[in-house]
Amino acid sequence: MSAILETVGVGRKYGDFVALEDVSLSIAEGELVSIVGPNGAGKTTLVNVLTGLLKPTAGVVRFRGEDIAGIGPVMLARRGMARAFQLVHIFPAMSVGQTIAVAVISQEWKGLSFFRDVSRDESVRARVHEVASIFGLEKKLETEARHLSQGEKKLLDIASAFALKPEVILLDEPTSGVSSADKHGIMRNVVDASKKAGVKAIILVEHDMDLVAEYSTRIVALTAGRVLADRPPKEFFGDPEIVAAIVGRMVGRLAKEA
Ligand SMILES: Nc1ncnc2c1ncn2[C@@H]1O[C@H](COP(=O)(O)OP(=O)(O)OP(=O)(O)O)[C@@H](O)[C@H]1O
Ligand SMILES: [Mg+2]
């Protein structure tokens, strides 16, 4: 199977500090790859490298065969990779409908006049409705983002990424700050929506091991910037050494946070 997204020997230093070293990963169509590891392991650095936000100091990052090192998330979204951020892109005073419309328009930019009321554009409105209903937000279109619940804000963030019609989607802790019951709802929504929307691969940074075990097709564990394991969930959780090195520490962290 050919890779949609891959890194070959990727390294990243911050000054003398080595945050990533010799990371080689390959993500193919149909995969949901979770990136796990303790605090400071390099997960966010890796996601930043994968989305072209950060240039690796060694190695190559390829998306659909092309080198994307440092091209930035906007150019990358145009090529078919979108990233859901942790709420930072949600403007509190914008409505749900407007938020999704911004993403739809940036994708389907078709010479709309800057001064035209884009919400009146029928095709944009139809697409906003479609995306909102995939995530159960169709009744909230007029609601300002600041009035949404925490879980709904997460869904709006992910919905905006979906509106970009990506082939690959990156989710950085999509369920943080959401109750356990809602976490599963969000993940199920994301996985179902991905199938409907033709998303080919999902990369997930997640601390909740239940979610990781249930939804991943593959798990990549990082420790101190290196890949400790890269395996399907059954093998991953079936290996006592990995469980001790990764899951044990994660559970410890979760217990501390609770
Ligand atoms: N801009 C930076 N300058 C210097 N050091 C950095 C910078 N960004 C990250 N680091 C360091 O690189 C290491 C990896 O950080 P990173 O944020 O990738 O970890 P993480 O796995 O996402 O951790 P967490 O689970 O806590 O989010 C950490 O030791 C961090 O302090
Ligand atoms: Mg992080």
73 and 150 share one domain: no
CATH number of the domain where residue 219 is located: 3.40.50.300
pLDDT of residue 116: 56
Sequence-separated (6 or more) residues with CB below 8 Å from residue 134: 159, 162, 189, 192, 193, 196, 197
Decide if 87 contacts 157 (C-beta within 8 A): yes
In this structure, are 213 and 158 located in the same domain?
no
Domain range holding 151?
Answer: 88-164
Tell me what pLDDT residue 82 has: 81
Asked if residues 228 and 222 have their Cβ atoms less than 8 Å apart, the reply is yes
What integer pLDDT is reported at residue 115 of this predicted model? Answer: 52
Residue 230's nearest CA partner among 30, 14, 37 is 37
CB of residue 49 inside a 6 A radius of ligand 1: no
pLDDT at site 89: 61
- What is the Cα 21 distance to its own chain's centre? 22
Cβ atoms of 249 and 239 within 8 Å: the answer is no
Tell which one of 10, 13, 17 to mutate to probe ligand 1, the residue whose CB is within 8 A of the most ligand atoms. 17
Cβ neighbours of residue 81 under 8 Å, at least 6 residues apart? 5, 51, 63, 166, 167, 168, 169, 170
How far is 245 from 223, CA to CA, in rounded Å? 9
* pLDDT profile of the chain (258 residues), mean per 10: 90 97 96 94 93 93 91 80 66 90 74 53 88 92 92 88 88 80 85 87 92 95 96 93 78 49
Which residue minimizes the CA distance to atom 26 of ligand 1? 39
Asked if 97 and 22 sit in the same domain, the reply is: no
Q: Which residue's alpha carbon is nearest to atom 18 within ligand 1?
A: 42
Domain boundary among 143, 164, 185: 164
What pLDDT is attached to residue 27?
96
Would you state the pLDDT for residue 258? Answer: 47
- 10 with 61, same domain: the answer is yes
Residues 240 and 223 in one domain: yes
Q: Are residues 123 and 224 in the same domain?
A: no
- The count of structural domains within the chain is 2
- Pocket residue to mutate for ligand 1, from 45, 48, 55, most atoms within 8 A of Cβ: 45
Torsion over CA: 79, 83, 88, 89 (sign) = positive
Q: How far apart are CA 80 and CA 136, in angstroms?
A: 24
> CA nearest 144: which of 97, 86, 100?
97
Residue 121 is assigned to a structural domain of this protein: yes
Distance between CA atoms of 131 and 146, rounded to whole angstroms?
19
What totals of helices (H) and strands (E) does the chain contain, helices first?
10, 10
Spatial separation of the C-alpha atoms in residues 31 and 185, rounded to whole Å: 20
In a domain, 149, yes or no: yes
Gap from CA of 124 to ligand 2 centroid (Å): 34
Question: Residues with Cβ < 8 Å from 254, sequence gap 6 or more?
Answer: 207, 208, 209
* Residue at 183 is within a domain: no
Q: Are 244 and 252 in contact (CB under 8 A)?
A: no
Tell me the torsion sign for CA atoms 18, 24, 30, 35. negative
pLDDT for the residue 74: 75
pTM confidence score? 0.86
Residue 45 in domain? yes
Report if residue 187 sits inside a domain.
no
pLDDT reported for residue 251: 53
Which one, of 84, 29, 36, 9, lies nearest residue 212 by Cα? 36
Please classify residue 197 by burial: count the beta carbons closer than 10 Å to its beta carbon, then call 0-12 exposed, 13-18 middle and 19+ buried. Answer: middle
